[in-house]
Chain A
Amino acid sequence: MKEFSYFPGCSLHGTSREFDESIRGVLDLLDIKIHELDDWSCCGATSAHCIDEKLAVELPARNLAIAERSNRDLLVPCASCYSRFKAAEVEVKEHSRKVSFPYKGDVAIRFALDYLSEPAILEQVKKRSVKPLSGLKAVCYYGCLPVRPPKLTGVKDYENPQHMDRLIRSLGAEPLQWSYKTDCCGASLMVTRIDLFKKLIGKILSRAKETGADCIVVGCSMCQMNLDTRQEDVEKDLGGIDLPILYYTELMGLAMGHKDIKKWFRRHFKDPVQMLSARGLM
Chain B
Amino acid sequence: MDVRDQAIKTSTSLLSEVVQKSGERIQNCFQCQKCSAGCPLNFAMDILPNQIFRHVQYGHREKVLSSKTIWLCASCHTCSARCPNNIDILKVMDTLRSMSLQSGVASGEKDISMFHQFFLGLIKLTGRTWEPGFGLYKMKTGGLFGMMGWSLKLFLRGKIGIIPTFNGGKELRRLFNEPGKGEVK
Contacts and interface: CB of A to CB of B under 8 A. Distances in A.
Q: Do these two chains really belong together in a complex?
A: yes
A2 interface: no
B129 A11 contact: yes
Interface SS of B by simple majority: helix
Interface string A134-168: 00000000001100111000000011000000000
Interface residues of B, number: 62
A192 B111 contact: yes
Given A62-B175, A184-B78, A188-B115, A42 B128 contact: yes
A128 interface: no
Given A15-B159, A58-B181, A184-B78, A44 B123 contact: yes
A55 B75 contact: no
A59 B174 CA distance: 12
Contact of B119 (A45, A150, A186, A267): A45
A148 B181 contact: no
Nearest to A204: B40
A59 B116 CA distance: 15
Contact of B77 (A101, A145, A199): A145
A267 B157 CA distance: 5
A149 B123 contact: no
Which interface residue of A48, A59, A188, A191 has the most chain B CB atoms within 10 A?
Answer: A191
Q: How large is the interface on A (under 10, 10 to 19, 20 to 34, 35 or more residues)?
A: 35 or more
A14 B129 contact: yes
B159 A267 contact: yes
Contact of B117 (A51, A58, A100): A51
Interface of A: 10-11, 13-17, 39-42, 44-56, 58-59, 62, 100-101, 144-145, 148-150, 158-159, 182-184, 186-189, 191-194, 196, 199-200, 229-230, 266-269
10 contacts: A14-B129, A46-B116, A52-B181, A53-B98, A55-B176, A62-B172, A148-B80, A158-B81, A187-B74, A193-B44
